[in-house]
Amino acid sequence: MRILAVVSGEFGRRFAHNVREYGPKTWTVQEWTAPSHFPIVIDEPRDFLPASLPPADLILAAGEHPGIAELLPDIAKMTGAKAMIAPVDRVEWMPKGLMNQLRGWMKEVGVESVFPKPFCSLTRNSYSLRGQRIEYHNTLISEFAHYFGNPSVKVSVDEKTGTIASVRVERDATCGCMRFVAQGMVGVRVDDAEYQAGMLHHHYPCLASMGIDPDYNDTLLHVSGNTFKEAFAAEIKPYKQVLYFQPDGFVEKPIADSPAQNPISPQP
């Protein structure tokens, strides 16, 4: 698969680097750096594009300015791309109205697009948007999401010590955060694993916004962090200790399960 990452800053470059470094060796990942400043009104998008761009199957739209969205239909035509992933990690870079316009523009040029919010909600058949799961059917995007998107791990536990012995990353976040988190989880007590996964996520320079998002009534940073906690929660569930609260003075009574224990008085 040929991927063109459209970037304008360090966050997008991190996406491209991680996909190039840890994705399948049969993939080619190239970058084009878009302008960082645009006029209020873009009369002719082609004026901001180079004379040529490399052929691509999939566009990874990781620009950090809303003006870049107006360039993407022409980029698709120049590269021959048939699919696009445009993550919404910061709404100021991809407002709702612009996202809806971009979806229509890309459809007009024969490109299927997805807008995972945040990026690490992307799976092989759906993504989160406005607090709901949106299904899609595209082999190129599904192939990408097999390796990058909603994080997934396999965990082995040392049952004698109750600690995590090893972590294998099955699907990384596109920014590389799960690989970072996994390295810090070895030796962590099982009962502390979810909390620690969330803390390590917050220590990584996550792209997701720290402002309250109205679709989630939460920050996208916290929404993203929860996906990492959930990835470990599913793996360690069989090993966690379940504690029950017993009120003071509570006396457990035996359950009657035979006539001898629960005699029935004869009816008059």
Residue that is written with structure tokens 């792209």 in the block: 207
What does the pLDDT average to over 150-155? Answer: 95
Q: Which helix (H) or strand (E) holds 29?
A: strand 28-33
On the question of pLDDT at 36 being above 60, the answer is yes
Full-model pTM: 0.85
Q: What is the pLDDT of residue 263?
A: 46
What does the DSSP assignment read for 148-182? Answer: BSS-EEEEEEETTTTEEEEEEEEEB-TTSHHHHHH
Whether the CA torsion 97, 98, 102, 105 is positive or negative: it is: positive
What does the pLDDT average to over 162-173? Answer: 95
Closest CA relative to residue 224, chosen from 243, 202, 242, 244: 202
Q: Which domains does the chain show, CATH number per domain?
A: 2-147 (3.40.50.720), 152-239 (no CATH)
Q: What percent of the chain has pLDDT over 70?
A: 89
Bridge partners (DSSP) listed for residue 3: 29, 58
Lowest mean pLDDT segment, chosen from 55-59, 130-134, 221-225, 255-259: 255-259
On the question of pLDDT at 57 being above 90, the answer is yes
Q: What is the pLDDT of residue 213?
A: 86
For the stretch 87-96, pLDDT in tens is 999 898 999 9
On the question of pLDDT at 26 being above 60, the answer is yes
For the stretch 180-193, pLDDT in tens is 999 999 999 999 99
Residue that is written with structure tokens 């990690």 in the block: 89
For the stretch 201-249, pLDDT in tens is 989 988 788 889 888 889 999 999 999 999 999 898 888 765 445 566 5
- The more confident residue out of 3 and 246 is 3
DSSP for residue 108: H
